[in-house]
Structures are given as structure tokens and as C-alpha cells.
Amino acid sequence: MKKSTLGPTYEEMLHPSKLDASLRKQALAAKKDELDPMNLFNITWKKENNEVNKVVLPKALTGVDANIVVMLGKDFPSGSHKVGPAYSTLIEGYVDGDIVPGKHTILGPSTGNFGIGVSYICNLMDYEAVVIMPDNMSKERYDRIKGYGAKLDLTPGTESDVILTLEKTHKLSKDPKNVALAQFELMPNYRFHRHVTGYSAIEAVKGVGNGRIACFASAPGSAGTLAAGDQIKKEYPEAKIAALEPYECSTLMDGGRGQHRIEGIGDKMCTLIHNVLNTDFIALVSDEDAVRGLKVLRDGVDVLAEFGVEKKQLKAMRDFFGVSGVCNILGAIKMAKYLKLGPEDNVVTVATDGFDRYDSVMEDLENRYLETEDFVLRRWFRDIFLKADTENVADYRSAAQKEKLFKQKENDWLKFGYEQAYLDKMKSMDFWDEEYEKIYEYNEKIQALRNH
């Protein structure tokens, strides 16, 4: 049997400093060649100095007293943290004997970054991969996936685009040769983010404000990232978790299913792995605000400097965010205002990827507007950042609101053959804690096979 290259355990992704010193050294050296399989050991939020890769946004930019801490996903191998769930799902399948190199083709249902992660991991670990995704995502995404050697299976980008990729994935999964890394359904995505992202978020606020987390705000695609909130709440029970949605596609809030421009989020469903018990608030961010906000951060250095944001920091931040990262920042600002947070309070959010896959989105913006000169960017900055309001935030803490989300989940998943009894189990936190606890077993299994 062909052997797969084995990478890190969950614990090593959280703490790469725990890797054997020579292994860590090889991993860091591999950053020069992204197709070196040693890069598996660079799947982590940590920089070379073992600190979380993050930025605390200048208050002159956010306009709020609270500290907005953004964890940066762009330096993960393949350019987004979505490689973490892709790797975790593949390695769990491998150590369980369900995914066999040379025998199985890997399917990656995605809106882009997960597909990029899947194709990248499959390149490093030597599997054939097919990425199933809508045909209306940014061009940069398709180029990357093909560049890593995976095949693309595109579904029409329509009203229910991600549901179509799911249907296609379920159809192709009937062939025993195919195994789907089903990010919307499988728990390794939850485990990766609850453990690796959750604890990294907890570390990220050390030395910032009161060192605690008052709010974690994140826009779900698969809702994997939101799982970090489950661990944050264990550490800081007062923390509020906000799920952000595009205003144009407010599926969780009120069943809205419109097209929108924030790639990677707003997938028109309540995903199976979304622990709605811990979703306290749902807040909406306009897609055009996220795209214009990215333009401001990208090209508004001079304008923002007029408002007191340091030029040096602005220049450093130009590459840090994609559209969903800006959506998360705007959602974090909204939540800081809504929760009336003060200068000691921290709101944590995430930038899943960086600017490198959004040139075409900026070009499109230029084509849609007559002018994007400084006077326009100045207006956009004031309106989008400084005048951010607290409208379109809904409190989802009551039993009645939770029931709405459970129902949404049933509508989305019973049709794919999941049993009502399984969905009912998800109504208890015990279900999520038991799923999380499996990381210890997988840590051991991965380690044992690596030493073999």
C-alpha cells in the first residue's frame, strides 16, 4: 500500500513549538518551496516566534473604543486557514483507514479556499483531487486549484449555488473510489477550529486590553471558524459569539438567500457542523461595504492617514485582508458598538485569507464605479467604518431563536439522509464536547503512525 506523508497532530498545529526541533527547522525552511511536503507542519496560526499571527486594528480606523484583534490566515500554506480543516479531515480519514492513498480520489466541495486547501494538501500528500465549486467565484481561485494539480467540477453559480455543489458531492460520493472531505458536515473541521483556532484566539488577546475576549465575531461559510467560539466560551463564559452574514443573504437571520459578493461566506444554509447553541447574535454586513472597505484599506493609505491612522501600519496591512476579512472587521465594529464595549474589552475576529486572490474583485469594483479617487474613498471610509451602525443585529440567545436555527438545519440536512435522531443530539452541548474530545485520540493515532 502507498503511504501518505504524515503531518502534525492537532496539538502540534496549535503549538508548533512542541514539534521536534529538527522537524520544526525543516518545516520553516520549507516555506521557500510551497510544494515541499514539510509545509504540512506549517499549518498553524503561529509565526516563527510562536506568537499568533494577528493585528490589533488602530482605533482611528475602527472608530470604536474596544480593541479589534484580527487573526491573520493568509500565511497558512496555500494562503488561507482553510487548509487546516482540509488537512484535518484527510488525516483523520487516513489514520482511521477510510482514506487510502492510491485507491481513493478526494472530493472537495467548496466556494474556493477550502478547494484550494484540498488541492494543495492532496498535492503534498499524493492524492488525486476533484474540487466541486460554483462557477462564479474569483478567477484567482480556479487558477490556484489547477496550479496544485486538482481537477475542477463546476456547478452553476445560481440562487442556491453551494447547495448544488453539495448535491453534486453526494452524488459523486456514491462511487466507492471517491471520498469527500465534506467541510459542511464532518467534525474534523469543527475539531480543528475549536482546538487550534479557539486556543490561538485565547492566546492572541494576551497583553491586549484586559486580556479576555468579550466577543468573537465571524462570518460562517462552513461555520468551522465559528467553532473557535465554543472554546473561547469555555475559557471566558461571558464572551458573546456573533455569526455574521451578508445583508443580501441573511439565511440564518430570516431565511434570506440572495446573491452576494463576499466569497466564502453566506452559503445559504445552516451547516451541519454549526453549533447553534453557542451563536448568541447574528449580525448583517452589506456586501458592497465589505468590497468598498477592502478598496479603502488597499488604496486609501493617504486618506486614512488624514484621519490619524499611521501610514506605516496602513502600508503593512494592505495585504492582510480579503473581502470576507473586511466583512468580519465591519461585523466586529458593529458588535463592539452594539455590546457597548470599552477600551479594556477585546473583540476577536479572523481574516481567512489575504488580498492575493482579490485583484479581479477590485478590477470589477473599478468598472462598476465612475470614480474611486481619494474623495470617494474618504466618503466610503466615513460611511462604512466610522458611521457603522448597530442595525441588523438579532439576539439569538433565547430557546425560541435556537429552535428556528435547529429547524433550518433540519430543512438543510434531512434531505441528505441524516437522521432526525442525529440532529436532535446536536441540541445538547454534550454532543459537541464529545466530538471535540476526539482530538486526543487523533493526536495519538497521528503520532503513532508517524513514528511507525
Ligand X SMILES: Cc1ncc(COP(=O)(O)O)c(C=O)c1O
**Separation of alpha carbons 26 and 31, rounded Å:** 9
Nearer to ligand X, 24 or 194 (CB): 194
74 binds ligand X (CB under 6 A): no
**Shortest distance in whole angstroms from residue 352 CB to ligand X:** 4
- Close Cβ partners of 431 (under 8 Å, ≥ 6 residues apart): 425
Nearer to ligand X, 202 or 341 (CB): 202
401 binds ligand X (CB under 6 A): no
CA-based end-to-end distance of the chain: 15
- Interacting stretch for ligand X, rule CB under 6 A, among 41-49, 109-117, 163-171, 281-289? 109-117
**Shortest distance in whole angstroms from residue 155 CB to ligand X:** 16
**Shortest distance in whole angstroms from residue 353 CB to ligand X:** 5
Interacting residue with ligand X among 12, 288, 353, 412 (CB under 6 A): 353
**Shortest distance in whole angstroms from residue 437 CB to ligand X:** 21
- Interacting stretch for ligand X, rule CB under 6 A, among 50-58, 222-230, 299-307, 358-366? 222-230
Interacting residue with ligand X among 39, 352, 372, 401 (CB under 6 A): 352
Residues 250, 295: contact at Cβ < 8 Å?
A: no
Residues 124, 43: contact at Cβ < 8 Å?
A: no
268: left (phi over 0), alpha (psi -120 to 50) or beta: left
Name the DSSP letter for residue 46.
B
**Separation of alpha carbons 323 and 355, rounded Å:** 8
134 binds ligand X (CB under 6 A): no
Alpha carbon 10 to its chain's center: 17
222 binds ligand X (CB under 6 A): yes
- Interacting stretch for ligand X, rule CB under 6 A, among 216-224, 301-309, 358-366, 387-395? 216-224
Residue closest to ligand X when measured from CB atoms: 264
Q: Could you give the 3-state DSSP secondary structure of residue 151?
A: strand
Interacting residue with ligand X among 8, 79, 224, 354 (CB under 6 A): 224
**Shortest distance in whole angstroms from residue 336 CB to ligand X:** 20
**Shortest distance in whole angstroms from residue 270 CB to ligand X:** 12
88 binds ligand X (CB under 6 A): no
Strands (E) located in 97-159: 105-109, 128-134, 151-155
Please report, as residue ranges, which positions from 138 to 157 form the binding site for ligand X (by CB under 6 A): none
- Interacting stretch for ligand X, rule CB under 6 A, among 3-11, 215-223, 310-318, 418-426? 215-223
Question: What is the phi/psi pair of residue 309, to 5°?
Answer: -85, 135
Residue 423: all three cell numbers together: 440532529
> 30-39, long-range: CB within 8 Å, 24+ apart, which pairs?
34/77, 34/78, 34/120, 35/123, 35/124, 37/5, 37/7, 37/124, 37/125, 39/77, 39/124
Nearer to ligand X, 219 or 301 (CB): 219
82 binds ligand X (CB under 6 A): yes
**Count of residues engaged in binding ligand X, rule: CB under 6 A:** 19
Please report, as residue ranges, which positions from 3 to 22 form the binding site for ligand X (by CB under 6 A): none
Please report, as residue ranges, which positions from 289 to 318 form the binding site for ligand X (by CB under 6 A): none
Task: Specify the DSSP element, H or E, that contains 181.
Answer: none
- Close Cβ partners of 275 (under 8 Å, ≥ 6 residues apart): 190, 223, 226, 227, 230, 426, 429, 432
Please report, as residue ranges, which positions from 228 to 267 form the binding site for ligand X (by CB under 6 A): 263-265
Place of cell 460554483: 134
Interacting residue with ligand X among 88, 123, 324, 372 (CB under 6 A): 324
Largest CA distance in the chain: 63
Name the DSSP letter for residue 194.
I
Residue 79: all three cell numbers together: 494562503
Interacting residue with ligand X among 10, 45, 114, 442 (CB under 6 A): 114
111 binds ligand X (CB under 6 A): yes
- Which residues of the shown chain bind ligand X in the complex (CB under 6 A)? 82, 111-114, 219-225, 263-265, 322, 324, 352-353
